[in-house]
Structure 1
Amino acid sequence: MIKSVMVMNTQGKPRLAKFYDFQPVEKQQELIRSVFGVLCGRADNVSNFVEADSIFGPGTRLVYKHFATLYFVFVFDSSENELAMLDLIQVFVETLDKCFKNVCELDIVYNYSKLHTILDEIIFGGQVLETSSIEVIKAVEEISKCSPSLSLYLFVFLRA
């Protein structure tokens, strides 16, 4: 099971933090700081896989990719395959690139709800739903088509 997905910049500011196990906000912040502490101390030429037992508990690992100014981090337990998780990060980033035309940190900051929609199409409740970026983009486009009419309906309904 996937325990958490995090996207943070190279200064350690979280741009996305989604925990699939309930964690109080203070604990989430502590975990994000701990993960960043591990990542910023690693050289560029080492493995992208890290034992996370001391941070998240026994049998937990994290995998990360560093793109430009962002770290994409998936935390998972021993039931998940490390290489599959690394590939899932790649799918997530490719999907973001296709949606935002070369995703950057500002795209993530200003399109927070779309980022969550994309992530929810890939992972939901800690389980992988979709591994094809094309299918994810189709689903996000369908949701976007529904969204404006739903917003208009709610606006009219609430004004009445």
Structure 2
Amino acid sequence: MIHFVLSISRQGKVRLTKWYSPYTQRERTKVIQELSGMILTRGPKLCNIVEWRGFKVVYRRYAGLYFCMCVNHEDNELEILEIIQYFVETLNRYFGSVCELDLIFHFHQTYYILDEILIAGELQESSKTTVHRLIDAQDSLVEAAKEKENTVSYIIAQVAN
């Protein structure tokens, strides 16, 4: 089970967090500080797995971002590395070449993509085609809702209420 997902910049700024296990806000802050300190100081030739508080934190660096997932000690690290790769590939397809600014300014889409891949800390959908189709369908719904909001009759109805 994945307990949480973090994305941290090389400067230590948190760009994405998703918690699947209960942590208080104080605990979350402490976890982020501890892990960012451990991961950011590691050399590039060291392995991508860190043991932490009886868990394993699997991470991978893409350009200026570290994508981290905390899993149980008995979980398969290679599977988690593949999930991270899958998530980043999906982000790359959606944003072109994903960068830190995409995670900052389009965080709603980023969380939606993550929620299509993971649910309750487990892999929900392993088919890239299915995930891309669902994301495209969601974008179509958002565009249709925006077009509806811009119609004259909708604006008049809103003013009348």
Please give the TM-score of this superposition, normalised by the length of structure 2: 0.88
Contact 1:15–1:109, Cα closer than 8 Å, also in 2: yes
Aligned to 2:88: 93
Aligned to 1:142: 137
CA distance in 2 between counterparts of 1:149 and 1:18 reads 28
Aligned to 1:125: 120
Aligned to 1:45: 45
Report the residue type matching 1:92 in the other structure: F
Alignment of 1:53-132 (within 5 A): 53=53, 58=54, 60-132=55-127
Aligned to 1:98, what secondary structure does the other structure show?
helix
CA distance in 2 between counterparts of 1:22 and 1:152 reads 39
- Cα 1:153–1:125 change in 2 (3 A) is farther
Point out the more displaced range, 145-154 or 35-44: 145-154
Aligned to 2:33, what secondary structure does the other structure show?
helix
- Cα 1:151–1:21 change in 2 (3 A) is farther
Offset from partner CA, 1:80-135 (integer Å, 9 cap, x none): 31100000000001011110111111111110000000000110111110123332
Aligned to 1:113, what secondary structure does the other structure show?
helix
Runs of 5+ unmatched residues, structure 1: none
Contact 1:91–1:132, Cα closer than 8 Å, also in 2: no
Contact 1:94–1:133, Cα closer than 8 Å, also in 2: no
Report the residue type matching 2:136 in the other structure: E
Q: Give aligned pairs, total.
A: 155
Do structure 1's residue 21 and structure 2's residue 16 form an aligned pair?
Answer: no
CA distance in 2 between counterparts of 1:87 and 1:148 reads 32
Alpha-carbon offset, residue 79 of structure 1 = 4.9
Alpha-carbon offset, residue 149 of structure 1 = 3.3
Runs of 5+ unmatched residues, structure 2: none
- Cα 1:144–1:50 change in 2 (3 A) is same
